Amino acid sequence: MATPNDILTDNSVVERDEIDVALFWHENKKRILLGIAAVVAVVGGSLAWYVSSNLSQRAAEDALALAGDVPAYEALVKSYRSTMPAADARLLLASSLRDAGKVDESTAAFEKFLSDFPNHPLAGGALFGIGQNQDAAGKSSEAAATYQRVAEKFPASYAAPFARYSQAEILLREFRRDEARPVLEALRTEFPDSPLARVASAQLDRLGQQ
């Protein structure tokens, strides 16, 4: 039969629990503190990155609103390389370089844009810009191939129907009518809602009469 001394009171259970907790803390406090410090560092770092990223984005947007020439676009790209305003600035830089007659530099800017922002909504437009530069430089075969790539790689982009029509224009310009017909037909079929689909139909009607 158990004696009163063998029976643990509620107070004795609490004391035993407190002892166990104290021993656990003594043995593991270093690891626990290191774990807490790691969590705090991750949360703090994430918060700092978020704040910094937002500030950088806003500064880049302000810089883009004020930019209007090649040096300004170049400075923006250099200072805010990974932001969306920098992507927009790179496209504007490429267009400005072409307008200034610097076709090779413009193409390089378009290519850099595609390298840095391959999934950007305007990636199709950048590739189309390369095709325009090739055509302007007299590289019509390369331009036609680039236009075809635009339509195939970025079919949902605004540039795709323009690329199809530009490809057909090159073929017609070189009197390659049999090759131009399927391109115009593809334009009409793939982009029926584009205004260029009606232009393609008119071109096909004229080709049918020749």
Q: Is the pLDDT of residue 141 over 60?
A: yes
Residue ranges covered by each domain of the chain: 139-210
Query: What is the secondary structure of the chain as a DSSP string?
Result: ---GGGSPPHHHHHHHHHHHHHHHHHHHHHHHHHHHHHHHHHHHHHHHHHHHHHHHHHHHHHHHHH--SHHHHHHHHHHSTTSHHHHHHHHHHHHHHHHTT-HHHHHHHHHHHHHH-TT-TTHHHHHHHHHHHHHHTT-HHHHHHHHHHHHHH-TTSTHHHHHHHHHHHHHHHTT-HHHHHHHHHHHHHH-TTSHHHHHHHHHHHHHHT-
Give the architecture-level CATH label for domain 139-210: Alpha Horseshoe (1.25)
Sign of the Cα pseudo-torsion (141, 191, 117, 96, in order): positive
pLDDT per residue over 149-162, tens digit each?
999 999 999 899 99
Determine contact, residues 60/69, Cβ cutoff 8 Å. no
User: pTM for the full model?
Assistant: 0.67
pLDDT per residue over 165-181, tens digit each?
999 999 999 999 999 99
pLDDT per residue over 13-36, tens digit each?
445 555 555 555 556 555 545 554
